[in-house]
Amino acid sequence: MSAAPPAGDVDRTGRAAVVEAARRRTFAVISHPDAGKSTLTEALALHARVIGQAGAVHGKAGRRGTVSDWMDMEKARGISITSAALQFEYRDAVINLLDTPGHADFSEDTYRVLTAVDAAVMLVDAAKGLETQTMKLFAVCKHRGIPIVTVVNKWDRPGKDALELMDEIAERTGLTPTPLTWPVGIAGDFRGVLDRRDGTFRRFTRTAGGATIAPEEQLTAAEATARQGEVWTQAVEEAELLEATGAEHDQESFLGGVTTPVLFASAVSNFGVGALLDTLVDLAPAPTGRPDADGAVRDLAEPFSAFVFKVQSGMDAAHRDRLAYIRICSGVFERGMVVTHGRTGRPFATKYAQQVFGRERESVDVAYPGDVVGLVNASALGVGDTLFTERPVAFPLLTTFAPEHFAVVRSRDTAKHKQFRKGIEQLDSEGVVQVLRSDRRGDGSPVLAVVGPMQFEVATHRMEHEFHAPVALDRLPYNLAMRTDEESLPMIASSGGVEVVRRPSGELLALFPDKWALRILQQRHPRATLEPLVAAQLA
């Protein structure tokens, strides 16, 4: 590795890291499927003028597919099944926006993304309110102390009463909602919003298909009364009721996870999206020092450090490369620098570093804490790995979820054995599936383990279209995995309907069809080691 830079250069680098980190806003969008996450992602990029025209997921009215949903399966289904990282500048800030998978079957990928952000936007469907997946992801944010900005989306469609939604948010999350804007017009009749910070009316005008930024007109209260009449008066009365109950924004309470600022919007029409961007720049926290595995904080000004939160291949069909996403935690990243790979202790060259905008990428020469950088052809890197220069650091590991669905995978073409093996190894390293080996089945028929069954669909699709190795899946009758050891194998073998498999790390798992089979084995062999797998421990 290269020699350490002179002390003066270290000081300048540290100062640059702190100054630039203050400009960063790194956040994720979380919600239940079909709440409009990918549409909102595009609308934010549109309002930042990074793109000239938004694209609907289903391409209605001649609009393109969304930038962030680039896989064929995503376009066909209209949902996100991979996380996407978008970076752009807005005002004097640098926005790192991480879009997350919408389907519950891919919650493990979402959980990993949430380890790499400093804030979250919780998207709530105006008609459906807080749904199951939203609440699960909210719990993760709460566990990690991630401040949350709430956006009530689809206010241009019929939905619940606004005050009713505020009560639901308070009751189910425990957060006090503090609306920054309030809708003028009931759900389905979205005229604009009352800006509670200055009492003005922000009136929206629809555009064709919502493909461009919706024109916005700011009116005084008197002008709004004259134009909107009773609808405006009702919005003012409800805003006064909120004020009387103390639903006012307080920055310390927001950052402390006590309150959540609320905005009303229609992402598909680009209504209220600009206000969200401004809110994120004004209120969302900038990156701060990150605790290491021992709880000590790695300050922003310390030498470079980062961790890998996602690995993705198949984004560039022409080059068939592999991209490792890293979140920079401290110091300054410079393309070409040689860093230390924490897991192996070996040097790692960063010659091919890129910033990512959906499927579009460009080389990045320098990046700062809070930024997300893609390292190309980083075959040595895995999810959770730490990179650093000079003073070593190890950030908390990102452990895998307990799988609930299992299937044997076989190549449908024996001549494609090499491609089959490479593809399976790739999917395992990315965390798309967990690959388990069984003495009963041999190396040619590994067992795939997943949290949700749609992961099987992604795996088979990518094996055929990316690795050109079509596969056949045979589902196995198990839905419960328990950690075991070598000493317990004879006891487990004596019970029917149970199978033992091995993780790449060597760890043994016993697979059971249900909890009753597990209970019977425990009763017969109380000395057998059967420990539940720990759900993801979040960094």
Structural domain includes residue 486: yes
- Supply the pLDDT for residue 420: 93
Q: Which tens digit of pLDDT belongs to each residue from 415-459? A: 898 999 989 988 887 777 889 998 888 878 999 998 778 778 888
Residue 103 is labelled as binding a ligand: yes
What is the domain count for the chain?
Answer: 3
Range of the domain at 75: 29-79+99-107+118-283
Local confidence band at 133 (pLDDT 50, 70, 90 cut-offs): confident
Structural domain includes residue 1: no
- Supply the pLDDT for residue 276: 95
Dig out the tokens for 471 from the structure: 């596969």
Q: Are residues 269 and 296 in the same domain?
A: no
Domain boundary among 283, 317, 339: 283
Count the neighbouring beta carbons within 10 Å of the beta carbon of residue 75: 15
What is the rounded average pLDDT of the residues 360-377? 87
Residue 332 has phi, psi (to 5 degrees) of -120, 130
Residue 225 is labelled as binding a ligand: no
Q: How far apart are CA 297 and CA 55, in angstroms?
A: 41
Residue 475, domain CATH: 3.30.70.3280
Residue 299 is labelled as binding a ligand: no
Structural domain includes residue 193: yes
Q: How far apart are CA 304 and CA 299, in angstroms?
A: 10
Residue 298, domain CATH: 2.40.30.10
Structural domain includes residue 481: yes
Q: Are residues 267 and 296 in the same domain?
A: no
Q: Helix (H, G, I), strand (E, B), or coil: what is residue 408?
A: strand
Q: Are residues 48 and 150 in the same domain?
A: yes
Q: Are residues 175 and 254 in the same domain?
A: yes
* Average pLDDT over the chain, rounded to an integer: 85
Residue 59 is labelled as binding a ligand: no
- Supply the pLDDT for residue 30: 87
Q: How far apart are CA 403 and CA 533, in angstroms?
A: 9
- Supply the pLDDT for residue 81: 33
In terms of Cβ atoms closer than 10 Å to its own Cβ (0-12, 13-18, 19+), residue 146 is buried
Q: Are residues 58 and 202 in the same domain?
A: yes
- What is the greatest pairwise CA distance in the chain? 83
Q: How far apart are CA 95 and CA 301, in angstroms?
A: 20
Residue 47 is labelled as binding a ligand: no
Q: Which tens digit of pLDDT belongs to each residue from 386-418? A: 999 999 999 987 766 678 899 999 999 988 989
Q: Are residues 44 and 168 in the same domain?
A: yes
Nearest to 371 by CA among 149, 113, 94: 94
